[in-house]
A and B are shown apart, each in its own frame.
Chain A
Amino acid sequence: MSNAISQANNEIGPTIFHPMKGDQGALVSVKDFSLWYGARQALYGVEMELEKGLVTALIGPSGCGKSTLLRSFNRMNDLIDGLKISGSILFDGQQIFAPDVDVIGLRKRMGMVFQKPNPFPMSIADNVAYPLKVDGVRDRQLIEQTVEKALKASALWDEIKDRLHQSALGLSGGQQQRLCIARAIAADPDVLLMDEPCSALDPVATAKIEELISELAGHYTIVIVTHNMQQAARVSHNTAFMYLGRLVEYGETGAIFTVPRADKTREYVTGRFG
């Protein structure tokens, strides 16, 4: 172990846990999970459980590993050359890194929403219907029902029900992001992974997405990476603070922002960092 690594280990210490427990138990269990990009280690022995139906926020300074962890949940990191992992992530009791895992199936159950809205260059309805069509669903009635349901669930229906067949690229940024959430929901996932979903949006659109996250909680297990600490405080039940690839503290959000237990968390949430 290099000096810098052992120094960071000493400085950070073991993870402090005080998360809120959901009444449906844990859906995802991360066990001693480490990850390397080539020679560079990005995650160090992360342990955490994502409670089913709750919203978990991942916060921390740039480069702390929060997006890497998020992208590990549905194996979005697989395509990166030189990727190496140790430890495990269990989703609904199954090893997601087992060789026989259907990665496409995994990603359907763990929908992802990205920083920049990425609607496909097609109509609003076709965007939402896309996951079904890829799946080979031909039943038009089922498709229409699913599109309506997903657009209602993503709080977009009332705004766009009269222009379902117009291009999705004509929507505002906030509407496009909610459309992406609708598209993720249409695949009937268990988990929604959101990587800074509001960083490209104005405050009103941001508020709508945050409101949507609250409404979707319970039905879906949501993990959100955010640079905006107030956003984490507003939308999440549990917050995980990461630093230098380690999970420093994982606890109930109210406690993280009022009485954090780790010194590093305290410094970060109060702006005494770096």
Chain B
Amino acid sequence: MNMKPHTSKNFETELNNLKDKVLRMGGMVEAAIGKAMRALEWRDAKLAQTVIEEDHLVNRFEVEIDEMCVGIVALRQPAAEDLRLIITGLKISTDLERIGDLAVNMSERVLELMDAPQSASQADLMRMAQIAQGMLHDSLDAYVDRDADKAEAVCKRDNVVDDINRQIFRALLNQMTGAPAGISGYLGLMNISRHMERIADHSTNIAEMVIYLVKGKDIRHTSFAK
């Protein structure tokens, strides 16, 4: 969408600052997922601990983004795509904060898995993480570029993640029945898989909001999204 700048340069700056902030928050959350997965792969407790300790930064971003949005709504009375950008910013910051929390949850599971043996499902988990991270990354790119096609593609990838999650569940169940002693470790991996599936869901929410931003159409809870 080709857009002229606002007559008010300050307003233009405020909206750009909001977009930058959402992007920076997205970058932090993306990094947190990456670190949590590397911590799992390498059994790196220190790295997992970093994710947990840095989560307050993500939380602070959420509060700051919400404050920016409330300020712009109160002072500028935005309309049309500006209004949609702000509403989208509010929603996306909530999803990003949840993703940050899920990265923390995964890191906590990783800390419990330090002594657990490697599982055959770990490769599937890594593949799932890669897709979920890609979905988050693309949904944020789509937000910046106002690219509805890219956002739609993200929504469609959610099914793939759901499938892998189910596969991992079945595989881990089999492994549990075969080796009851390792149950707590397998449960930890199951939880990580579930958290990753939730991350893909939140990324889909972000992509759906991007479609609303670009087209003004709310596609949530419609057959299109699935």
Contact = CB atoms under 8 A, between A and B. Distances in A.
B77 A230 contact: yes
Given A258-B216, A259-B216, A269 B79 contact: yes
Contact of A272 (B4, B77, B215): B4
A104 B98 CA distance: 66
Contacts of B81: 266, 270
Interface in B62-119: 77-84
Contacts of A274: 7
Given A258-B84, A258-B216, A259-B216, A272 B79 contact: no
Interface residues of A, number: 16
A270 B80 contact: yes
Interface string B209-224: 0000001110000000
Interface in A248-274: 257-260, 265-267, 269-274
Contacts of A233: 79
Given A230-B77, A270-B78, A257 B83 contact: yes
Given A258-B83, A259-B217, A266-B81, 14 more contacts: A229-B77, A233-B79, A257-B79, A257-B80, A258-B80, A259-B84, A259-B215, A265-B80, A269-B80, A271-B6, A271-B8, A271-B11, A272-B5, A274-B7
B83 A272 contact: no
Contacts, number: 43
B3 interface: yes
A258 B4 contact: no
Nearest to A261: B216
A234 to B, nearest CB: 11
A230 B3 CA distance: 22
A229 B80 CA distance: 12
A94 to B, nearest CB: 37
B11 to A, nearest CB: 7
Interface in A212-257: 229-230, 233, 257
B33 to A, nearest CB: 33
B88 to A, nearest CB: 12
Given A267-B4, A272-B6, A272-B7, A259 B80 contact: yes
B72 to A, nearest CB: 12
Given A258-B216, A259-B216, A270 B6 contact: yes
Contacts of B82: 270-271
A266 B80 contact: yes
A229 B79 CA distance: 10
Nearest to A272: B4
Contacts of B79: 229, 233, 257-258, 269-270
Contacts of B77: 229-230
Contacts of A266: 80-81
B7 A273 contact: yes
- Closest 8 pairs (CB-CB, A-B): A259-B216, A269-B79, A272-B4, A257-B79, A270-B82, A270-B80, A269-B80, A271-B6
Interface string B184-226: 0000000000000000000000000000000111000000000
B76 to A, nearest CB: 8
A22 B221 CA distance: 30
Contacts of B6: 270-272
Nearest to B7: A271
A260 B7 contact: no
